Amino acid sequence: MATEIRSFDLINKTQIPSLGLGTWQSEPGLVGQAVTAAVKAGYRHIDCAQIYGNEKEIGLALKKLFEDGVVAREDLWITSKLWCNNHAPEDVPIALEKTLNDLQIEHLDLYLIHWPVRTKKGTAGFKPENLLKTDIPATWKAMEALFDIGKTRGLGVSNFSSKKLGDLLKVARIPPVVNQVECHPSWHQTKLREFCKSNGVHLSGYSPLGSPGTKWLKSNVLEHPILTSVADKLGKTPAQVAIRWGLQMGHSVLPKSTNEARIKENFAVSDWLIPDDLFTELSKIEQARLVRGDFLVNDIYGEYKTVEVLWDGEI
- DSSP letter assigned to residue 4: -
Distances (CA, A) of 266 to 54, 145, 241, 242: 22, 37, 9, 10
State yes or no: is 52 an active-site residue.
yes
Q: Interhelix angle for 162-171 vs 190-198, to 10°?
A: 20
Whether residue 41 contacts residue 74, with contact meaning beta carbons closer than 8 Å, is answered with no
Q: What is the CA radius of gyration of the chain?
A: 19
Instruction: Annotate 169-190 with b (16+ C-beta within 10 A) or e (fewer).
Output: eeebeebbbbbbbbbbbbbbbe
**What's phi and psi for 75, nearest 5 deg?**
-90, -5
Torsion of CA 190, 191, 192, 193, to 10 degrees: 50
Catalytic residue among 43, 52, 206, 304: 52
The helix, strand and coil proportions of the chain, stated in percent and rounded to the nearest 5, come to 40, 15, 45
**Mind telling me the catalytic residues?**
52
